[in-house]
Structure 1
């Protein structure tokens, strides 16, 4: 099976196999199977009321049934066609290729091509920096009430509940909670990043880079700090927002009980234990 689509009211659905076998259930009406295609069927989409559907092959051959109206086939794409979506009334549809080329037909208006992303994650890294900067200037959330009561611990569901800062705020040392929240908002994968700065190292061993020189560090990564404790764990986390040959600019949650921007983080600082690379 390669695709499924549900009616607007949830009372029916259609599924399709790569060989073009269509299965209709509930209020969705079976109208027939595609045939004669090349590249295999890759997707299906049903109208709002279940009275029609469109299917598409990897080679761009569109098959319309029932109240769905055939409008044409995509051509000139790269990466194969990967999916299709029909309007509620069946009067238009849009298909997309593996490289993000969008083809719109009938009543569907073309607005541009999808972005398949980039291997270096530059867009996500830019979002991390922008979100961290926005929180630094956010006068409502850039504050700690009492002892460790903050917005970000509550937002990632960590810490002691019901502190006095506001609805949903919680209390705990929150530099790592702030970093996790920013990563989540930017679309980076925060898996393994848990309460406590120690998690930047212990929870993300596959992305941890030891050493104070920060060789290879990029915007969006997290710097770990160990302030001459007897253990090897991290005591603080910084989000990297700019990288220079000598100095790194960071935005830190829970730094002097606030979100703080630091422009003077020098490579080689003895308190830097290393950094964790973000995972998309």
Structure 2
């Protein structure tokens, strides 16, 4: 019997040789478990699906359908079986590899540009643009833990999710095995987990963010620069701001400068610093003087 996935994948059915939309959402999940979709879950995933939007895709002997015109990702995690991630006609992310036994839903509500990438400590992340057409959403998988829930994966949201937490373990963003300051580890961890490009340049040193900025021409040291959410903010302890001794992340800013910063190893935890009037290069924020800002380069889009 021909594999049923040809007939029922991604909220579609085959009737008389034609692809037609159905009410089925085909909610198969990894390892037979219910996918955790969080706030990205679509209540009526097939209601806006048009038959003309369905394009066939065959991987590992199974044929399914994805939204025509959307980007999918054939990703090799280093094994012998490449894994494919697509946006189904229900706007959920679906994936397949040689061991899944067919296409499986990872849930979500993604409109374009699904992308798989490896993050720190072996986590496998998938990322796509959410229903507003601009905000990236992510879901991650880690050996022994499985899939986490969908969440916004912009720099600001991820950094804020770690507020008041200290260093966790060698598998996260703390400098291991030797104890040390971990502000740069935290900022690097956030950038890497939202798919910022070329984070291999970054190290446990705050100065590595300056090196990143110089390499990508995003190191900003002029007072006229308008900082943006997601930028790294490099600090010095001296009043002139001529060294790189601490680094944090810009969470919000206005025409007057940075209004909210979140950084690691601030009072031995991830904490927030605020400036009601806004802070620019040369100004004090928290206990430090701002030396400059570094814009991240994203692999697929800038929020």
TM-score normalised by the chain length of structure 2: 0.49
Matches within 5 A, 1:119-130: 122-123=135-136, 127-130=154-157
Aligned equivalent of 2:163, options 136, 148, 167: 136
Look up the SS of the partner of 2:57 in the other structure: strand
Counterpart Cα distance in 2 of 1:229 and 1:267? 13
Q: Residue 255 of structure 2 corresponds to which residue in structure 1?
A: 245
Please list the CA deviations of residues 95-128 of structure 1 after superposition, one character each: whole Å capped at 9, or x if unmatched.
3323367548xx999986632349x975379621
| 1:155 matches 2:169 | no
Structure 1 runs (4+) greater than 4 angstroms displaced: 73-77, 85-88, 100-104, 107-113, 229-233
Q: How far, CA to CA, are the matches of 1:219 and 1:53 in structure 2?
A: 44
Change in Cα spacing, 1:254 to 1:115, as seen in structure 2 (3 Å) is same
- The verdict on how the C-alpha distance between 1:214 and 1:185 changes in structure 2, with shifts beyond 3 A counting, is farther
Max Rg structure: 1
Please state how far the C-alpha of 1:258 moved relative to its aligned partner: 2.1
Instruction: Name the count of aligned residue pairs.
Output: 192
Contact kept in structure 2, 1:252 and 1:259, CA below 8 Å = yes
1:263–1:111 CA distance, 2 compared to 1 (3 A): closer
- Partner Cα distance (1:222, 1:108) in 2: 37
Aligned 1:67-82 pairs, distance under 5 A: 71-72=18-19, 76=52
Q: Secondary structure at the match of 2:202?
A: coil
Paired residues of 1:227 and 1:235 also in contact (CA < 8 A):
yes
How far is 1:159 from its partner? 3.1
Match of 1:171 in 2: 179
| Larger RCO of the pair (alpha carbons < 8 Å, separation 6+) | 2
Gaps of 5+ in 2: 8-13, 21-49, 72-86, 91-102, 114-128, 138-151, 284-288, 299-303
TM-score by length of 1: 0.53
**Aligned-residue CA RMSD in angstroms?**
4.4
